[in-house]
Structure 1
């Protein structure tokens, strides 16, 4: 009963904080548009202008994507922690978290290499192993974007922190995130998966209905990421016992 009551009260508090952040900084609802377009354009430029570079192309693209994600995380940090949005933060954020983000992508790259090596040893069994690891990573590392900009840790420590965080807060974290994901999917067909680049779920074609859904999806995505940021900040600095004690006061 205490857990259920805590989930209700926590999300009531986070909903109010998220509402306050959006009311004070309504521009954040456009961030999905800004960064999804930025990601699409950057990808087209990199692959069209630098085609033929082989492995260097992958390294350069990872750096570009890390810079875009770094910028978005920097903007979210300022909205969630300081309740302020400034357009210049987009530019200032390109390098702020780039080392941490690139470090995480490099760790994921190494993990894929290891799985590729194991595929030669395990044969068909690797398919089931990759599926299990993929589902586990999707759950355990779901708060990775928030951990990158809320916690002052290096790339590997941030990943390990996510594991500890989910051990303590998996119910409080997954419950609202499942709801947010369902809302986004039902309205737009996009997916909120907690990945480092959440804009991949946003796409549109040249039609009025598609553009409208794209704008709606952008607003929902931005709202969800702000909600996640406030939720992570609260859960990572409190415990169930501490929250119960503070409410009694």
Structure 2
């Protein structure tokens, strides 16, 4: 047991150190996140008046911004150099079709779920349960897209499923600790289920939810620490871009450490390093 715990600490230590190194080189990506968010809000206001056409526009914009964000994260993970403005320009269009493909594969079953649970008295509970399950099983979809680069959306979903089954403790433990103040609040469990359901709809590939998650976490921590509610939301808005970038970088480094290796292989590697 002690060796497993020490291996876990060593895993997170490596991921945190790599995240800090990448964060120093990716400050411009934080500015890109702010610009992307402003663009998304403006287009949402216009697209909201266009009906189904506006929905297609928002879907395409979401894929464009998520793909660009994943491309910037991918460049930041290397940490060899600081990101430049041309990196933002070159990231636009990256992973666009991959995001569209995963979203389309999930769209039909989720639409069927919504229609099938409307008349059911337990429909809301069933829908939330299914979406929570999707949030869990497809959680590493962003990392699979830009690190594994599967050939089809179904391969992306399959890889996510296999990765979560193999590494669910290592993958979700940091998230559990991060979201803990939200869960233990008076309405925290309901808020967590609602947030997870929204994230589950897009397999973590909804641009706005990439920012909503760190904003919610910051609000939970500030509330837990006793900050006045009329003031901490301003601080949460200011800190959301760097926290969102830190979370995405940490996830990327943690996925890179976990993917392609088993518990036994990592334990053997650690014993080998300790014996040298």
Measured against the shorter chain, the TM-score band is 0.7 to 0.9
Superposed CA RMSD: 3.0
Match of 1:38 in 2: 39
User: 1:95, 1:183 → 2: CA distance?
Assistant: 37
Gap change, CA 1:131 and 1:18, over 3 Å in 2? same
Match of 1:66 in 2: 63
Structure 2: any 5+ residue segments left out of the alignment? Answer: 185-190, 217-229
Picking from 161, 166, 169, the partner of 2:167 is 169
Match of 2:219 in 1: none
Q: Could you report, residue by residue, the CA deviation over 1:208-248 in whole angstroms, capped at 9, with x for unpaired residues?
A: 86443212122111111110110011111322222222221
**Shift of residue 146, structure 1, vs aligned partner:** 1.4
Match of 1:238 in 2: 261
Structure 1: any 5+ residue segments left out of the alignment? Answer: none
Instruction: Give the structure-2-normalised TM-score.
Output: 0.76
Picking from 213, 221, 224, the partner of 2:244 is 221
Q: Which runs of 4+ in 1 moved over 6 A?
A: 183-186, 189-192
User: 1:239, 1:36 → 2: CA distance?
Assistant: 37
Gap change, CA 1:157 and 1:83, over 3 Å in 2? farther
Q: Could you report, residue by residue, the CA deviation over 1:188-208 in whole angstroms, capped at 9, with x for unpaired residues?
A: x997967222024459xxx98
Q: What is the aligned residue count?
A: 240
User: 1:124, 1:81 → 2: CA distance?
Assistant: 50
Picking from 109, 112, 122, the partner of 1:114 is 112
Match of 2:101 in 1: 103
Conservation of the 8 A alpha-carbon contact between 1:145 and 1:195: yes
Q: Could you report, residue by residue, the CA deviation over 1:7-39 in whole angstroms, capped at 9, with x for unpaired residues?
A: 111001111111111123333444442332232
Q: Could you report, residue by residue, the CA deviation over 1:56-105 in whole angstroms, capped at 9, with x for unpaired residues?
A: 22222101111011110110111114544232222222211110101111
Match of 1:139 in 2: 136
Gap change, CA 1:25 and 1:69, over 3 Å in 2? closer
Conservation of the 8 A alpha-carbon contact between 2:60 and 2:100: yes
User: 1:119, 1:107 → 2: CA distance?
Assistant: 20
Instruction: Give the structure-1-normalised TM-score.
Output: 0.83
